[in-house]
Amino acid sequence: MPNREAYINPSLDEIEPGLYLGNARSSTSLATLREYQILAMVSLGTEERHLFIPSLDSSTRNLLQHVTEACDFIERVRLSSVERPALLASVYTNLEEQPLEVETIAAAEVHRSNNVILVHCDWGVLRSSTIVIAYLMRKHRMSLSDALAMVKGKRRVRPNLNFIMQLEVWQDTGYEIYEDVETKTPKLQYKEFLEKRAKRLKEQGLTGDEPIAPVFP
């Protein structure tokens, strides 16, 4: 696990243009958000902001059920045609008592080809990296091994075995876990995963929501 300073200080890395992976502190640091021109976030944690996915670090958590929603949100933001200064002002106003003028944001705007989004959890190592890997797999039709290598080349991440197994299912289902999205009818690979997970939880007397306590070296 990262050391304590990696948890306290803002930490984010650009995985590809317009897509950042980081920790929770980076999502609340106004200076960091301004510096990197972040206009939207996917948050995996315990406090609601932006697209919020309730998720603790866990060896049993089913994150796969949220992956499509997160990928759709990331793609929608990155392809949005809404003017960036207005979007940036709406994001930063949430972090300050006084609203920021759109002209002020526009003056500080750096030239980027895409809208910029931050995906984070507490550490930026497990849950959020799983979402970013899943997004890259779907967007670029990448294999799990290639997407994992790409992210590891930019940031020190370590999805646990539970999340790796889910990414394998994501790959095997062709980046869509349901046969019928409206009725939530799972594809065979996802159904088998859910059945094995339910059996394992029952045998171990778990609920699937057990957190992994942070460890500071």
Provide the residue count of the chain. 217
* Per-residue pLDDT tens over the stretch 121-137: 888 899 999 999 999 99
Residue 112, pLDDT > 80, answer: no
- Among residues of the chain, what percentage have pLDDT more than 90? 43
From 19, 63, 121, 136, active-site residue: 121
Q: What is the CATH number of domain 4-204?
A: 3.90.190.10
Residue 113, pLDDT > 90, answer: no
Q: Is 121 a catalytic residue?
A: yes
For the chain, domain boundaries = 4-204
* Per-residue pLDDT tens over the stretch 147-184: 999 999 999 999 999 899 999 999 999 999 999 999 99
Residue 55, pLDDT > 60, answer: yes
DSSP 8-state secondary structure symbol assigned to residue 210: P
Total-model pTM: 0.72
CA distances from 130 to 29, 57, 120, 143, 206 (A): 23, 11, 10, 13, 22
| Residue labelled with tokens 């779907």 | 138
- Which of 4-13, 52-61, 118-127 has the largest mean confidence? 118-127
Relative to beta strand 51-54, strand 40-45 is parallel
Task: Look at residue 103 in the predicted model and tell me its pLDDT.
Answer: 39
pLDDT band at 114 (very low <50, low <70, confident <90, very high): low
Instruction: Please count the CA atoms within 13 angstroms of the CA of 216 that sit on its side-chain side.
Output: 5
